Structure 1
Amino acid sequence: MVKIGAVEVGDFPLLLAPMEDVSDPPFRALCKKHGADVMFTEFISSEGLIRDAGKSVQKLDFFEYERPLGIQIFGNEISSMREAAAISAAANPDIVDINYGCPVKNVAGKGAGAGILRDIPKMVEMTAEIVKAVDKPVTVKTRLGWDEESKHIVEVAERLQDVGIQAISIHGRTRKQMYKGSADWSLIADVKNNPRMKIPVFGNGDVDSPQKALEMKNTYGVDGLMIGRASIGYPWIFREIKHYLNTGEMLAPPSLEERVQACRTHFEMALDWKGTQLGINETRRHYTNYFKGISHFKEYRTKLVTSNEPEEILDTLNEILERFADMEMAYPY
């Protein structure tokens, strides 16, 4: 049994990666239903939290059924991060997670997210202060380094463990790579195989099929997998991976009815959670993957992403169910 501190997360846990504007409660509900073992919130701005900004505070909310769940925070000021960690811990998650991996310019360029990989001493000091500030297990999500010349993740992971983190998730790219090229898992394995490392090491990057999941597990020996982009619009990836790891057999892909029902559930939860307009806007990024592989679908996809009325979108989902009822579904990978 893998444990993050005292929190049991399964024998080989599958973690839902924190993704901005994606891993909100409606999306997390679907991923949990289909087998994700550990949830993480969208990353939350430390400055937003300590200033009580509405959007940041709302991201602290979660449902009991999502547990075990981590609240993820980011920022570049140690004092703000320490205070934000305390606010996060007060919301009573199972884990407080630190984002040291986000590569986008308006985060990393300000020294937050992956930006802190240019200042490892500050990264270690910030982590130590957060560990001291909360009574929850603290975990870290990070990358191999800032660029090819600074891939010091083996040393970094050890130093973060030494100041008290309880698990580390490593994306197998540098910040400079963003999401280009292939993730390099060899350094993730080096972290896991470091005899001084005692905490769980989770691998992240390019796990987009059950076969790839098995390859990463067997080749690199990680304690679990963190899955991000492959789950967008396809929460079934978790159950498919689990079934394949346990049996060596592929589950049948979700039926059209399952896809439409999941999409409808996601959409209706988003409306309840974020209000009509924001719920409509933020669900649009998921439609392509929910119905990936269906030929002659463009007309319906256009309707889904351009409609501004909930009734129109629900009607379009019903039309999809009727129009493609006899089509055999395929995997998106």
Structure 2
Amino acid sequence: MAVKIGNIDLGNFPLLLAPMEDVSDPPFRFVCKQNGVDMMYTEFISSEGLIRDAAKSVQKLDIFEYERPIGIQIFGSNIDSMREATEIASKANPDLIDINYGCPVKNVACRGAGASLLQDIDKMVKMTKAVVESTHLPVTVKTRLGWDDNTKNVYEVAERLQDVGIQALTIHGRTRAQMYKGEADWSLIREIKRNPRISIPIFGNGDVDSIEKAANWRMEYEVDGIMIGRAAIGYPWIFREIKHFFATGEYLSGPILSERIDVCRTHLLKSIEWKGEKTGIFEMRRHYSNYFKGIPNFKDYRMQLVKLESLNAINEVLEDISNKFDEVLA
């Protein structure tokens, strides 16, 4: 059965790209879209930044037609600011608005935003209601199991947020206290999915980094779809490989070296196109080691790539990599 968020038809078992700060920008989203991701989100955007017209926050509202369906994700600690930010984000014409109640990092959670709202469910519910009432678009939420092991309250969160009108919920299978350490626990996600009161789609997130996990957890935890984050960095092919396995039961062979270089180059060009040469090249540096993971003795090349400041010089190194390594190594 097709999974729907409002009028957005996501197909039978959608794969979603997680919103990741400094990663899920339009250049990265472009290469993920080419590899079959069903739905994507912007990097999370500060509500305070949006209402103050901060350049960095406003730039994150950039979305493109080919990215659809796409959600804009916002976070904040002040209900009025979130209401106003929702109105601004809605004017950028995404397909939905997503609220971040999951970010564990200090400068978000310790300012009363992101995962810290898991410590104040009443406020979370009020904030969510304000966002739902401030837009004509479907509203979804991403959150965690709870603040720590003693407060895994996402079961209550799911019911109460559905009651105020959210249309899908993504749950990362860790508490805020865990940050990104330890193993994600999806058993509570399955409990929520089995709750007869819950009728909205429930997506699982956390630790899905292989075809096997995606296939096994789909069955074991009964989720409506899976959100993938870190495993897609430098490896956007994960979406097409999982989808191919779901469709055929067969493994698709991974990208050969020339394809890795082509996609890396596309990502770089899109980055320059969107941010200008200087910033585009600088922000691409975090991706090289992932694009070429597993290639022996790659360190010297990576050191070159992260120092170079011109597109021509980077292209020369990519060409050199192409000539030096046999396709078999990819």
TM-based fold match above 0.5:
yes
Secondary structure of 2:178's aligned partner: coil
Secondary structure of 1:164's aligned partner: coil
Q: Which residue does 1:79 correspond to in 2? A: 80
In the alignment, residue 45 of structure 1 is paired with which amino acid?
A: S
Secondary structure of 1:10's aligned partner: coil
Provide the rounded CA distance (Å) in 2 between the counterparts of 1:87 and 1:146.
Answer: 29
Provide the rounded CA distance (Å) in 1 between the counterparts of 2:88 and 2:327.
Answer: 51
Provide the rounded CA distance (Å) in 1 between the counterparts of 2:176 and 2:281.
Answer: 31
Q: Which residue does 2:68 correspond to in 1? A: 67
Provide the rounded CA distance (Å) in 2 between the counterparts of 1:103 and 1:282.
Answer: 23
User: How far is 1:309 from its partner?
Assistant: 2.0
Provide the rounded CA distance (Å) in 1 between the counterparts of 2:10 and 2:327.
Answer: 39
User: How far is 1:315 from its partner?
Assistant: 1.0
Q: Which residue does 1:158 correspond to in 2? A: 159
Retained in 1: the 8 A contact 2:142–2:169? yes
In the alignment, residue 228 of structure 1 is paired with which amino acid?
A: G
User: How far is 1:148 from its partner?
Assistant: 0.4
User: How far is 1:310 from its partner?
Assistant: 2.0
Q: Which residue does 2:30 correspond to in 1? A: 29
Provide the rounded CA distance (Å) in 2 between the counterparts of 1:52 and 1:325.
Answer: 49
Q: Which residue does 2:43 correspond to in 1? A: 42
Instruction: Please identify, of 302-311 and 171-180, the stretch whose mean Cα deviation from structure 2 is larger.
Output: 302-311
Unaligned runs of 5+ in 2: none
User: How far is 1:137 from its partner?
Assistant: 0.2
Q: Which residue does 1:90 correspond to in 2? A: 91
Provide the rounded CA distance (Å) in 2 between the counterparts of 1:37 and 1:237.
Answer: 12
Secondary structure of 1:42's aligned partner: coil
Provide, for residues 24-73 of structure 1, a one-character-per-residue CA deviation record: whole Å limited to 9, x for no partner.
00000110110100010000010111011111111111110100000000
Secondary structure of 2:150's aligned partner: helix
Q: Is 1:55–2:56 an aligned residue pair?
A: yes
Q: Which residue does 2:281 correspond to in 1? A: 280
Q: Is 1:140–2:144 an aligned residue pair?
A: no
User: TM-score, normalising length from structure 1?
Assistant: 0.98
Provide the rounded CA distance (Å) in 2 between the counterparts of 1:49 and 1:33.
Answer: 29
Secondary structure of 2:133's aligned partner: helix
Unaligned runs of 5+ in 1: none
In the alignment, residue 78 of structure 1 is paired with which amino acid?
A: I
Q: Which residue does 1:177 correspond to in 2? A: 178
Q: Which residue does 1:316 correspond to in 2? A: 317
Q: Which residue does 2:123 correspond to in 1? A: 122
Instruction: Say how many residue pairs are matched.
Output: 329
Alignment of 1:151-230 (within 5 A): 151-230=152-231
User: How far is 1:115 from its partner?
Assistant: 1.1
Provide the rounded CA distance (Å) in 1 between the counterparts of 2:74 and 2:37.
Answer: 21
Q: Is 1:10–2:11 an aligned residue pair?
A: yes
Structure 1 outlier segments of 4+, above 4 Å: none
